Amino acid sequence: MEVSIYLGIIKPLTQKGGKLMSHSKIRRPALVSLVLSLALLLFCGAALAAGTLNLSVPDTAMPGGEVEIRGSFSGDGAAGTPIGITVKDPSAAVIFAEETKTDSDGSFVISFTLPGNASYGYWQAQAAGGGCAASETFKVGAADGVVNVSPASVKPGGVVTISGTVPQGNVPVGITIKDPNGSAAFVDQATAGAGGGYTFLFNVPASAPTGTWTVDAAGGGSAGRAAFTVVSGSSGGGGGSASPCKQPAAASYLPQSGASDVALDAEVSVVFEIAVSKASATSLNGITITDEHGNKVGNVAAVLSGTKLTLSHDAFEYNTKYTVTIPEAVLANSGSGCSGYHNKSINWSFTTLKKTEAPAAAVKTEYTDVPSTYWAFNVITELGEKGIITGYPDGSFKPDSSITRAEFVAILGRALGWEEKAGNPAFSDAAEIPDWARGYIFTAVDKGVIGGYEDNSFRANQPITRLEIVIIIVRALGLGDGAAKSGTLSFSDAAEIPDWAANDIAIAVEQGIATGKPGNVFAPNDNATRAEAASLIARMLSKF
């Protein structure tokens, strides 16, 4: 195709009847695409003397498999050149987009995993960087001859022969065998001969489920898939000898799945039905212990000994649900000739014990400004003796003074036995949070009980309102997920309670935690006093 350029208008010319004909009508999107393509080609042509971009992809790949994209950029300043990689499926939809940089020699490599439901057909990998672009196509789907299985059907305990030919010789051929549920039951590799041919024998487990099993093989830049059927019955003479190999499966957990009141330093381990080993040098690094909010426990390290895997870890927190996750194919059967048999994904959960205060001798608490005739004398005295609330150095309690956000969260945390989380909450005014409240505030934020303001401040020393302390208590007790109760509010100033808070206030009233003030008012926007906060905490403890 020739191109004419006149007054900034680009017109493609096509051959017809021996003459070049101009298309006077061309759709705008096509025109824009053509302009961009031409500009890229002209730019690359101008830069050709300074640099060249090359790209290499495998010939074929299978859904769920890994695709390695390699390339190089040559020319001045080739090292550290950003290279954008885009992969499109047969419908031109972008499935993968990432940026990498060239190494010191100008080369680059990046890998991505095809979706398990990747469409069969020709996919395109595109690379752009250093003023140039390159693209290559690869086929998603089985390449002919890469993998074959025999026999087509076999009984549990039988032997399947896996063979095929890959484009290159003397290269590793990865073999993955999946059971009818789609779980990887076996992972290993063979080595292709000089002509690319390979053969591998797979011992079907005696406990293998019946159904269609798939075999994926990849090597030498090509991939293929085949299948065989496991039929019911045990293997006899013609089906091959029975195999002693099987996947590692858990026999018992410690702590037990669903256990409660687990110690903070409890041993975490799993015993398998067979002796196991790590599937690779780094596979055990993928094992995690996470809390109910998805936070990972620190310093988790796995140690294997025969059939037992033990996990060391940092101390747990009180009253928290933890989940142990051992990903698929982390462990292998350590029996002779069985290293290709890997575990399925394993996970179990348990909950740690609640924090309890050590018994202590009763401490008589008296405050100079809280006489026995004061309306909240009993609750203030009781909470003071339990160490939940404290007074001031001069012996006063200041019951009618406004309570701050920091003071209330610290009192709530002590009342509920929260662990004081180390570190600093990520608030812009974190430096203003008192040391004695910092750990409780961090824990409350982590639990989703309290948050900051739109400007990312916490305002620790700001008075807290009656509405806010009730909402925080309802959240801390996990009571806010029940059926709507907003219709039950009967305070004369109920209209002053925001709609988003009405249900939580109604729940607190129904549970006997919150009460109104004289005159049947709730006064949601009034600053809560220290005495009112103590009274609310005491009612909460008496009911939960």
The answer to whether 81 touches 129, Cβ cutoff 8 Å, is yes
What's the pLDDT score for residue 239? 45
75 versus 404: which is more confidently predicted? 404
Cα–Cα distance for residue pair 158/241, rounded to 1 Å: 6
- Residue 13 — pLDDT band, cuts 50, 70, 90? very low
Mean pLDDT over 131-155 rounds to 87
Share above pLDDT 70 across residues of the chain, in percent, rounded to a whole number: 85
- Residue 49 — pLDDT band, cuts 50, 70, 90? very low
Mean pLDDT over 82-111 rounds to 91
Cα–Cα distance for residue pair 313/290, rounded to 1 Å: 11
Mean pLDDT over 511-532 rounds to 87
- Residue 207 domain flag: yes
Residue 119 has pLDDT above 90, yes or no: no
The answer to whether 418 touches 388, Cβ cutoff 8 Å, is no
CB half-sphere exposure, 182, CA atoms < 13 A:
4
- Residue 242 domain flag: no
CATH number of 175's domain? 2.60.40.1930
What's the pLDDT score for residue 448? 87
- Residue 121 — pLDDT band, cuts 50, 70, 90? confident
Are 28 and 105 in a shared domain? no
> What one-character-per-residue DSSP string does 511-538 give?
TTS---BTTTB--TTSBPBHHHHHHHHH
- Residue 126 — pLDDT band, cuts 50, 70, 90? very high
Are 381 and 468 in a shared domain? yes
Mean pLDDT over 417-443 rounds to 88
- Which stretches does DSSP call E strand in 294-433? 301-305, 308-312, 321-326, 331-333, 346-352
Q: Does residue 468 sit in helix, strand or coil?
A: helix
- Residue 368 domain flag: no
Per-residue tokens: 261: 């009141």
Cα–Cα distance for residue pair 343/356, rounded to 1 Å: 39
- Residue 135 domain flag: yes
Share above pLDDT 90 across residues of the chain, in percent, rounded to a whole number: 26
pLDDT (tens digit, 9 = 90+) per residue, 148-166? 998 888 888 888 888 888 8
- Residue 301 — pLDDT band, cuts 50, 70, 90? very high
What's the pLDDT score for residue 486? 45
List b or e across 367-393, with b for residues whose CB sees 16 or more CB atoms inside 10 angstroms: beebeeebebeebbbebbebebbebee
Are 155 and 197 in a shared domain? yes
Are 539 and 400 in a shared domain? yes
Cα angle 187, 188, 192; round to 5: 140
Are 453 and 328 in a shared domain? no
Range of the domain at 286: 251-352
Per-residue tokens: 65: 């498999």
CATH number of 283's domain? 2.60.40.1220
Cα–Cα distance for residue pair 63/114, rounded to 1 Å: 5
β-pair partners for 325: 288, 347
β-pair partners for 22: 13
Q: Which helix (H) or strand (E) holds 378?
A: helix 377-385
pLDDT (tens digit, 9 = 90+) per residue, 439-463? 999 998 888 889 888 899 999 899 9
pLDDT (tens digit, 9 = 90+) per residue, 163-215? 888 888 888 888 889 889 888 888 888 888 888 888 888 888 888 889 999 99
What's the pLDDT score for residue 48? 41
What's the pLDDT score for residue 487? 52
Are 124 and 162 in a shared domain? no
- Of 439, 431, 432, 468, nearest to 451 by C-alpha is 468
Are 492 and 516 in a shared domain? yes
- Residue 394 domain flag: yes
Among 140, 160, 176, identify where a domain stops. Answer: 140
Cα–Cα distance for residue pair 235/241, rounded to 1 Å: 7
User: What is the layout of strands, in order, in the sheet containing 19-22?
Assistant: 2-6, 9-16, 19-22
Residue 46 CB coordination number (10 Å): 10
What's the pLDDT score for residue 290? 95
Q: Which helix (H) or strand (E) holds 384?
A: helix 377-385
Are 206 and 266 in a shared domain? no
The answer to whether 477 touches 544, Cβ cutoff 8 Å, is yes
**How many domains in the chain?**
5
The answer to which of 238-242, 385-389, 435-439 has the lowest mean pLDDT is 238-242
Cα–Cα distance for residue pair 317/417, rounded to 1 Å: 11
Are 443 and 538 in a shared domain? yes
Are 63 and 22 in a shared domain? no
The answer to whether 205 touches 246, Cβ cutoff 8 Å, is yes
- Residue 356 — pLDDT band, cuts 50, 70, 90? low
- Residue 361 domain flag: no
What's the pLDDT score for residue 50? 54
Residue 369 has pLDDT above 50, yes or no: yes
- Residue 363 domain flag: no
What's the pLDDT score for residue 225? 87
Mean pLDDT over 500-527 rounds to 86
pLDDT (tens digit, 9 = 90+) per residue, 239-249? 444 455 788 88
Q: What is the mean pLDDT of the chain?
A: 81
- Type of residue at 72: S
Residue 32 has pLDDT above 70, yes or no: no
Residue 467 has pLDDT above 60, yes or no: yes
Per-residue tokens: 21: 């004909």
Cα–Cα distance for residue pair 469/403, rounded to 1 Å: 10
Cα–Cα distance for residue pair 394/392, rounded to 1 Å: 5
Are 283 and 310 in a shared domain? yes
Residue 127 has pLDDT above 80, yes or no: yes
Q: Does residue 33 sit in helix, strand or coil?
A: helix
Per-residue tokens: 526: 């009034």
| Pairing assessment for the beta strands 153-154 and 222-230 based on DSSP bridges | parallel
- Residue 22 domain flag: yes
What's the pLDDT score for residue 243? 52
314 versus 362: which is more confidently predicted? 314
- Of 146, 4, 1, nearest to 61 by C-alpha is 146
Are 56 and 35 in a shared domain? no
pLDDT (tens digit, 9 = 90+) per residue, 468-499? 999 999 888 888 655 445 456 788 888 888 88
Cis peptide before 255 (omega within 30 of 0): yes
